[in-house]
């Protein structure tokens, strides 16, 4: 209910449908050199129910995997620093409405 400067009041009612947000951002490079800037490869996927992130080397070997939306790849493989190179990521995202998005691409690790 609103009233204007002349004292006239009016009421309006309606329905608002809010569609679930299904956007995300995947960086294309990171530099795990402990300078506090871009040290971890972590996709930004707000409002998702779950996420499966996999990182592969150029030969197709799985070198990192997580299902935790708060974790990202720190550029290590088997406890050692992975070399500067281009890697492949694959992400399966489940949104709260039950829909899925499958994304893949390249990530450059710069040392």
Structure tokens at 101: 């998005």
50 assigned to some structural domain: yes
CATH number, residue 78: 2.60.40.1220
84 assigned to some structural domain: yes
Which domain does 105 fall in, by range?
Answer: 20-109
15 assigned to some structural domain: no
58 assigned to some structural domain: yes
- pLDDT, one tens digit for every residue, the chain (111 residues): 788 889 889 898 888 877 777 889 999 999 999 999 999 999 998 888 999 999 999 999 999 999 998 999 999 999 999 999 999 999 999 998 889 999 999 999 998
Domains held by the chain: number? 1
pLDDT of residue 65: 98
Measured CA to CA in angstroms, residue 110 lies from 6, 39, 45, 101 at distances of 65, 10, 23, 28
Measured CA to CA in angstroms, residue 15 lies from 1, 9, 18, 34, 62 at distances of 15, 21, 10, 50, 48
91 assigned to some structural domain: yes
13 assigned to some structural domain: no
pLDDT of residue 14: 87
Residues 6 or more apart in contact with residue 31 via CB below 8 angstroms: 37, 38, 39, 109, 110, 111
């Amino acid at each position: 209910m609103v009233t204007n400067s002349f004292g006239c009041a009016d009421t309006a009612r309606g329905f608002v449908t809010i569609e679930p947000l299904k956007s995300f951002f995947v960086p294309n490079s990171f530099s795990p050199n402990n300078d506090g800037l871009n040290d971890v490869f972590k996709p930004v996927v707000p409002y998702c129910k779950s996420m499966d992130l996999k990182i592969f080397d150029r030969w197709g070997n799985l070198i990192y995997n997580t299902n935790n939306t708060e974790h990202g790849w720190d550029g290590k493989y088997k406890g050692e620093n992975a070399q500067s190179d281009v890697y492949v990521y694959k992400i399966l995202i489940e949104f709260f409405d039950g829909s899925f998005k499958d994304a893949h691409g390249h990530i450059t690790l710069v040392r």
